[in-house]
Amino acid sequence: MPEGKPAGVRCVQLSEDNRCLIYGKPERPAACNALRPTEEMCGSSFEEAMIYLTWLEAATAPQVKKLKNET
């Protein structure tokens, strides 16, 4: 994803079983390399991890400013 992965969009580099297809490879984005899984992030199930990751994406998404003439 040359322009980055938008929040809420599945990464094109995930396999069907949600494993990174470019893990450990030089083309893996710096943002992915910097993300370190924690117990809080992973939870105790896939569902708990997805809830946290969805929240994290929303919390770190760029804010869109409205123009003065927009309602």
pLDDT at residue 71 in the model: 59
Residue 14: phi, psi to the nearest 5? -95, 135
pLDDT at residue 64 in the model: 72
Give the global pTM: 0.67
Map tokens 């943002």 to a residue.
31
pLDDT at residue 39 in the model: 94
Which DSSP helix (H) or strand (E) runs through 7?
none
12 Cβ contact list (under 8 Å, min separation 6): 1
d(CA 41, CA 59): 14
pLDDT at residue 5 in the model: 84
What is the residue-level pLDDT of the chain in tens, covering all 71 positions? 878 888 788 899 999 999 999 999 999 999 899 988 899 999 999 999 999 999 988 888 877 766 676 65
